[in-house]
Structure 1
Amino acid sequence: MTNYIKIVEERISGLSKGVDETVDSWFLMSSPMPVVAVVLVYLAFVLKIGPEYMKNRKPMDLKRIMVFYNAFQVLYSIWMCRTSIQESNVMASIFSKKCEINRTREQNLTLYSGAWFYFFSKIIDLLDTTFFVLRKKDNQVSFLHVYHHTITVLFSWGYLKYAPGEQGVIIGILNSGVHIIMYFYYMVAAMGPQYQKYLWWKKYMTSIQLIQFVLILGYMLTVGAKGCNMPKTLTFFFVGNTVIFLYLFGNFYRKTYKKAKSVDGGSRTTGSSLAQSALRAAGGMGCMPQTMNAGKHLLQNGQVGKAYIDLNNNSVKPMKLE
């Protein structure tokens, strides 16, 4: 028994040593245990504890918090994009014959620092699901959403800890660019129904995500074909995970928009079905509007008003009289 305990301790000690001792001293990077604990608490809350707590309670009004949170995410993503492009010299990596960039240890630490900020952004992203639960948007807590957030936290940690390579820089830049667009949408949506007219482009966010995965896959295959001097295991994992994301997001897009198009083609009722599906798309901060007849809503005084979708209170409301 003592021998088994010793073996386990040695394995854990081995996992605690990463690619650089300076990285090992950073927040959440000392060993796998802290980040695994964060992910387990996240899963327990969004799948069990949170829904049980909110079961007999009204949805929380988080409008101001969500506007601030999404504005912060936009600025954070812009900063990461700009810093990564400036510090990584990524274009030289892409077009060199062996995709190599020779760096000093100090330059590598600068690169690792950027990877840590990217990893920590994935920790912050877990609040997306937390807000869904507290606002009782249980339909948004899908397998795709939870899997995506969980795997990106674990992988970005493992990437920085054990095998940071040039491949991750490209992925970080592309992903941060997509997040600028995505969280800007969520920020505007959280500001209130009066801004709904500016949100017609939501369905294109899923397309942008799919394009991102295609670009990542193409880049990884190029890295493999050129025989780049990069961690091959990392390349294979990137390819496999990107294929999974392509399938999940592609299936989501097909079910959401193709079905909505089919429904809209069979019935010319004013776009409430399209609005409903659009708000589901891309795991957004929207709501599931009630079925409406020709986009109309009956007011208390018997008059008919045009409907708008209240993104903050999970309902469809009259905006103005006919």
Structure 2
Amino acid sequence: MEGIVTMYQDFMKKADPRIADYPLMQSPFLVMGILLGYVYFVLSLGPRLMANRKPFNLKKFMVLYNFFLVGLSLYIVYEFLMAGWLTGYTWRCDPVDFSQDPKALRMVKVAWLFVFSKFIELTDTVIFVLRKKNEQVTFLHLFHHSVLPWSWWWGAKFGPGGMGSFHAMINSMVHVVMYFYYGLSAAGPAFQKYLWWKKHITAIQLVQFVIVSLHISQYYFMPSCQYQFPIFIHLIWIYGTIFFILFSNFWYQSYTKGKRLPRVAQQAAQHNGSSVHENGTVTNGKVKAN
């Protein structure tokens, strides 16, 4: 046991000291506890607590929550661009800058902020549970919210920046669009006519995985690349492939088979005698990416 502890301590010494004092970044056991508690609440405790209760009316909170995440995601995108992606990165083999340069420190800050935002987004699923929308807690949703924050924590802890941060920036761009849609959908029936583009959110997510995979795949064709953490490259490529498959299946089930057509399309289908039916409501935080 002492040997395992020593190995762990030696391993953690390789982490980036610049991010050590940021909230949640002191120990992986803290975030592990948060994520395990999240899974337990979503799959067990929450549904049991809500079993004999009426669903909470969280419409006003959902509007504020979603538009807050729109603003936060926009800020994260801007910071990624200013910390490197528009101020010196080549968009090819970009190593992590471990110096005390202001731009390097800015990248550390936004890498942490991105990770922290993923813990804020756990609220998506809590909303499902409190509104008794447990059918929304799919494998894809739970996997995204529980496993990926754990991976991103390690990325920020050891390599905040460089080419491994590209997917985080793209993911934040997608979340601007996604949470804007959710904010409108939570605002009430008056905004339903503006939600015809529901289907395109999934399309944007699929494009995201293609762009991220193409960018990260450059690594495998470069004669040399000084990026310090090849393991992150492999994980990003694997995650991109897995999520492309999962979201492609989501697209097929939702739109090709007609289970989640937008309301306008659904009404047209009903008018034409189609058997496709929806309950006509749009809820916050449906399945989304990384």
Alignment TM class, shorter chain as reference: 0.7 to 0.9
Pairing 1:222–2:218 present: yes
> Per-residue deviation at 1:279?
4.7
> Per-residue deviation at 1:173?
1.6
> Per-residue deviation at 1:275?
5.0
The secondary structure found in structure 2 opposite 1:93 is coil
> Given the alignment, which residue of 93, 99, 102 partners 1:104?
99
Residues 12 and 253 (structure 1 numbering): CA distance in 2 closer, same or farther, change over 3 Å? Answer: same
What is the RMSD computed on CA atoms of the aligned residues?
2.9
> Given the alignment, which residue of 235, 239, 245 partners 2:243?
245
CA–CA distance in structure 2, aligned partners of residues 184 and 233 of structure 1: 33
Residues 136 and 86 (structure 1 numbering): CA distance in 2 closer, same or farther, change over 3 Å? Answer: same
The secondary structure found in structure 2 opposite 1:283 is coil
Give the equivalent residue in structure 2 for 1:137.
133
Give the equivalent residue in structure 2 for 1:293.
none
Alignment of 1:94-243 (within 5 A): 94-95=90-91, 98-99=93-94, 104-106=99-101, 107-226=103-222, 227-230=224-227, 231-243=229-241
CA–CA distance in structure 2, aligned partners of residues 172 and 93 of structure 1: 15
> Per-residue deviation at 1:42?
0.4
Paired residues of 1:220 and 1:238 also in contact (CA < 8 A): yes
Pick which of 224-233 and 75-84 moved more: 224-233
CA–CA distance in structure 1, aligned partners of residues 212 and 189 of structure 2: 35
> Per-residue deviation at 1:7?
1.8
* Unaligned stretches of 5+ residues in structure 2: none
CA–CA distance in structure 2, aligned partners of residues 68 and 92 of structure 1: 36
Q: % of aligned pairs identical?
A: 34
Pairing 1:9–2:20 present: no
Output the amino acid matched with 2:286: G
> Per-residue deviation at 1:282?
7.6
Give the equivalent residue in structure 1 for 2:270.
269
1:45-82 Cα offsets, whole Å, 9 max, x none, are 00100011111111100111111101100000011111
Give the equivalent residue in structure 1 for 2:257.
259
TM-score (norm 2): 0.87
CA–CA distance in structure 1, aligned partners of residues 62 and 11 of structure 2: 37
* Unaligned stretches of 5+ residues in structure 1: 286-322
1:15-36 Cα offsets, whole Å, 9 max, x none, are 5435222312221111111000
> Per-residue deviation at 1:84?
1.0
> Per-residue deviation at 1:104?
3.1
Higher strand residue share: 1
Pairing 1:65–2:68 present: no
1:69-124 Cα offsets, whole Å, 9 max, x none, are 0110000001111111112135743356x545867323433211110000000000
CA–CA distance in structure 2, aligned partners of residues 69 and 281 of structure 1: 10
> Per-residue deviation at 1:280?
8.1
Residues 16 and 277 (structure 1 numbering): CA distance in 2 closer, same or farther, change over 3 Å? Answer: farther
The secondary structure found in structure 2 opposite 1:29 is coil
The secondary structure found in structure 2 opposite 1:273 is coil
1:109-162 Cα offsets, whole Å, 9 max, x none, are 321111000000000010000000000001100000000111221011010112
Residues 159 and 101 (structure 1 numbering): CA distance in 2 closer, same or farther, change over 3 Å? Answer: closer
| Structure showing greater Rg | 1
Paired residues of 2:67 and 2:183 also in contact (CA < 8 A): yes
Residues 245 and 67 (structure 1 numbering): CA distance in 2 closer, same or farther, change over 3 Å? Answer: same
Paired residues of 1:71 and 1:187 also in contact (CA < 8 A): yes
CA–CA distance in structure 2, aligned partners of residues 196 and 45 of structure 1: 31
Paired residues of 2:111 and 2:161 also in contact (CA < 8 A): no
The secondary structure found in structure 2 opposite 1:260 is coil
Pick which of 9-18 and 213-222 moved more: 9-18
CA–CA distance in structure 2, aligned partners of residues 248 and 115 of structure 1: 26
Give the equivalent residue in structure 2 for 1:303.
none
Q: Which has the higher contact order (CA 8 A, sep 6+)?
A: 2
Q: What number of residue pairs does the alignment pair up? A: 279
Residues 123 and 68 (structure 1 numbering): CA distance in 2 closer, same or farther, change over 3 Å? Answer: same
The secondary structure found in structure 2 opposite 1:40 is helix
